[in-house]
Structure 1
Amino acid sequence: MSVAQKVLARLNRMQRGVPFPIGSFYELGSETSVQKAFSRLVKEGVVARVSKGFYARPKPLPSLPSIKTTASANEVARAWAKKHGYKLVSQGLESAYRLGFQTQAPMKAVYWSNGPSREFKIGNQIVEVRHIAERKLRWENKPEGALLRGLLVTPPQSVEVSDLKRAVQRLSLSASEVKMITRKLSSLPQLSEWKSKLQQLEQAT
């Protein structure tokens, strides 16, 4: 079986619309032969290049089967982070909005990461990845991580303890989880201005 045939056989087993790095195909042959196979398959419409080094199988829109889409910019950003082992979390403004600390949704999709800053653009979709200090990425996609990032971008004087209560309700946390998380957050130097309100939240839980 030729390299091109091996590439096509593997592609046909992959889910449509899910981005993947071309590097995962290099075990099938030389980099040059794999790249040539991909170049031909892109021209044939079998696969689409969605970002530098990343591809996806097009998938038809359920409402308009004749129109095919590829991966979203969000999905490509996540695939990029996974490939390189980078942390990737929603920016603080997004967390603050989802927790009810801010009423206006962010205008642009932005992620914080310990990887390099870069931008992903797919059609009209733009996702920005910003390199940021590791201490702001703690607890990645856990509830305490969302609270940490939401609090980091919100002035303490603009939030009451009642707002904090509603925020933890949105995260569906039990009383014991709230106590554990507020203790974690209270111990962080970067949240020193929040310590009093976090302690009040713990006592009120």
Structure 2
Amino acid sequence: MIALSTRILEVTKELPEGAPIAAKALLHLGKRAAVDQALSRLAERGKLLRARRGVYLRPVESRFGVRAPSVEKVVEETKARSGETIVSSGAAAANHLGLTTQVPVRQVYLTSGPSRELHLGKQVVQLKHAPLWQLTLANRRAGEVVRALAWLGPKTAERALRSVSQKLTPTEVRELKSAASSLPTWLARPVSELHV
């Protein structure tokens, strides 16, 4: 009879990089307590990474050694499996748009789901619950503008919006204006005044 930990490793080898592994998904292999214990032992031996309580990740093996899965892959897999909206933080968006030279030290993402931390080896990724208006236009550049302005706050948002709007295409400006009704008043007013 094949050991439970060996069977778990065989199943996880089929998963893409960054895919979360939870005991509930492995109950076809054994009883819950046995699966939990096997996952814990695999993590202790370095065969799996414990991302957070009850969630594990398979490390990536390459010719250079073993590493944690990439943050981007973990975020994409989490999005796909949970159905949550997950986007980069306002600080990362502001940096990407050139509104600040500060480079975020911590990996922070905004999510429609609960706040939590994922441990990818020595790196910690924070998923912070955010209001829906900050998640609007999730995979669009106009949405990145919304998150950057939310991070900058009411005092500097209007000036930053004037600066960044010059870099947007007419389509992106229209997308941003279409989201104005879902934004707080301090942001909706300057956004609705933009000219295409």
* TM-score, scaled to structure 2: 0.75
Instruction: Using the TM superposition, give the Cα deviation of residue 111 of structure 1 relative to its aligned residue in structure 2, in angstroms.
Output: 1.5
Q: Would the alpha carbon gap of residues 35 and 2 (structure 1) be closer, same or farther in structure 2, given more than 3 Å must change? A: farther
Instruction: Using the TM superposition, give the Cα deviation of residue 100 of structure 1 relative to its aligned residue in structure 2, in angstroms.
Output: 1.7
Q: Would the alpha carbon gap of residues 180 and 124 (structure 1) be closer, same or farther in structure 2, given more than 3 Å must change? A: same
Partner of residue 148, structure 2? 150
Q: CA RMSD in A?
A: 3.0
Partner of residue 103, structure 2? 105
- Superposed, 1:51-66 pairs within 5 Å as 51-62=52-63, 65=64
Q: Would the alpha carbon gap of residues 32 and 2 (structure 1) be closer, same or farther in structure 2, given more than 3 Å must change? A: farther
> Structure 2: how far apart are the matches of 1:160 and 1:6?
54
Q: Would the alpha carbon gap of residues 121 and 12 (structure 1) be closer, same or farther in structure 2, given more than 3 Å must change? A: closer
Q: Does the Cα contact within 8 Å between 1:3 and 1:28 map onto a contact in 2?
A: no
> Structure 2: how far apart are the matches of 1:96 and 1:160?
11
SS at match of 1:121: strand
Query: What amino acid maps onto 1:50 in structure 2?
Result: A
Aligned length: 189
Instruction: Using the TM superposition, give the Cα deviation of residue 75 of structure 1 relative to its aligned residue in structure 2, in angstroms.
Output: 4.8
Instruction: Using the TM superposition, give the Cα deviation of residue 126 of structure 1 relative to its aligned residue in structure 2, in angstroms.
Output: 2.3
> Unpaired segments of 5 or more residues in structure 1?
none
SS at match of 1:55: strand
Q: Does the Cα contact within 8 Å between 1:50 and 1:56 map onto a contact in 2?
A: yes
% identity of equivalent residues: 25
> Unpaired segments of 5 or more residues in structure 2?
none
Instruction: Using the TM superposition, give the Cα deviation of residue 184 of structure 1 relative to its aligned residue in structure 2, in angstroms.
Output: 0.7
Q: Would the alpha carbon gap of residues 51 and 153 (structure 1) be closer, same or farther in structure 2, given more than 3 Å must change? A: closer
Matched, 1:96 2:94: yes
Q: Does the Cα contact within 8 Å between 1:88 and 1:111 map onto a contact in 2?
A: yes
